Structure 1
Amino acid sequence: METAHGRQQAAPGAFAAFARFVLCGGGVGLASSFAVAALSSWLPWALANAVITVASTLLATELHARFTFGAGGRATWRQHVQSAGSATAAYAVTCVAMVVLQLLVAAPGAVLEQVVYLSASALAGLARFAVLRLVVFARGRSQAAATVRATPPAVAGTVRATPPVAVSHAAVPAGPAALCHAA
């Protein structure tokens, strides 16, 4: 896959990115919930969930690269792999939720299964947003850190031949507070 380095757009702020994440990821997730329900009539539920999770993760990662986080192009292989890691965790959350439902309710109806599945997906989606924003599609931090490491230190009494490194504002936040930071 091609890299998006040459066509990066300005990254949207946290609230705009979250709204786009809900639109793209939520739309794919909602469609996935119906696809899992339909596919589970032919396959075991866990297998149907795995198949749909793989397909929806590929689609959602592309949408997030192009639209949600303003990467400006197709997702890279690295972004797909990192996104797959967070999707694996989301898959585990939905599977655990459904197993717990089966343990608590002998014969849950389709509506209750959908409510539990979508609730677990929503909780996993919040965590996934944080991972995608702060790790997978984060820009500036890694580039600024690489530039800082590549700049030789000034020796006392010498004139610095390289200009000082400008660290972008996007390189500053880290941790949970970065979610509220408008990039």
Structure 2
Amino acid sequence: MEKVQSGQRATQPGAIAAFARFVLCGGGVGLASSFGVGALASWIPWVLANALIAVLSTLLATELHARFTFGAGGRASRRQHAQSAGSAVAAYAVTCVAVLTLRQLVAAPDPMLEQVVYLSASALAGVARFAVLRLYVFARTRSQAAGTLRAACTLPATVARPSAHARPAELCRAA
């Protein structure tokens, strides 16, 4: 029988559920960001506008991913923000290269074409970010997983400890 402790983190959702949440949270922030970049770029250079919006949207998206997408069970830590920022820098580079390449190929691109290129590059970078965030930034560490296992499978004092080669499932059955 498993014990649920009040301080225990929420369970991490499966890959499909996490990806759906990632698309809703990150995609929603990304879509709003694309309009923000377009509006801000009418006042300042596009690369600077993209950088400012990328910083703000990364902070917001990281919080949403920590709370909802990956089941981290609360606010994102400074470490998670820093690691997420690293993946956002790569995504920023992808969107910059895509739009700047478009501007090299088309002298005065239509704003709609620019949005399509920007959103396509963002989607490609987003899939890569999902993998990085799920597998690295918000992944449970071995020590956290071991702590969860110990909390769920505590052995009574009268039961002899199984051999060092026992699997986690066997430890739970021994309790």
The TM tier, using the shorter chain, reads 0.7 to 0.9
CA-CA distance at 1:8 after TM superposition = 1.4
Kindly provide the CA deviation profile for residues 141-183 of structure 1, in whole angstroms up to 9, marking residues without a partner as x.
353589xxxxxxxxxxxx9899778669xxxxxxxxxxxxxxx
Distance change in 2, residues 1:51/1:109 (3 Å) = same
Question: SS at 1:78's partner residue?
Answer: helix
Q: What is the number of equivalent residue pairs in this alignment?
A: 153
CA-CA distance at 1:64 after TM superposition = 0.1
Distance change in 2, residues 1:105/1:143 (3 Å) = same
Q: Match for 2:98: what amino acid?
A: A
User: Contact 1:62–1:75 (CA<8 Å) still a contact in 2?
Assistant: yes
User: Contact 1:7–1:73 (CA<8 Å) still a contact in 2?
Assistant: no
Distance change in 2, residues 1:129/1:142 (3 Å) = farther
Computed over aligned residues only, the root mean square deviation of the Cα atoms, in angstroms, reads 2.6
1:52 equivalent in alignment to 2:61:
no
Distance change in 2, residues 1:167/1:32 (3 Å) = farther
Structure 2 spans left out of the alignment, 5+ residues: 1-6, 148-159, 170-175
Measure, in 2, the Cα distance between the counterparts of 1:167 and 1:85: 35
- What are the residue-to-residue correspondences of 1:100-139 with 2, within 5 Å? 100-139=101-140
Question: SS at 1:90's partner residue?
Answer: helix
Measure, in 1, the Cα distance between the counterparts of 2:90 and 2:80: 16
- What are the residue-to-residue correspondences of 1:133-172 with 2, within 5 Å? 133-141=134-142, 143-144=144-145
Q: Match for 2:9: what amino acid?
A: Q
- Normalising to structure 1: TM-score of the pair? 0.76
Residue 157 of structure 2 is matched in structure 1 by: none
Residue 19 of structure 2 is matched in structure 1 by: 18
Distance change in 2, residues 1:97/1:138 (3 Å) = same
Measure, in 2, the Cα distance between the counterparts of 1:46 and 1:96: 10
1:41 equivalent in alignment to 2:45:
no
1:85 equivalent in alignment to 2:86:
yes
Measure, in 2, the Cα distance between the counterparts of 1:56 and 1:49: 10
Distance change in 2, residues 1:164/1:66 (3 Å) = farther
Q: Match for 1:78: what amino acid?
A: R
Distance change in 2, residues 1:21/1:167 (3 Å) = farther
- Normalising to structure 2: TM-score of the pair? 0.80
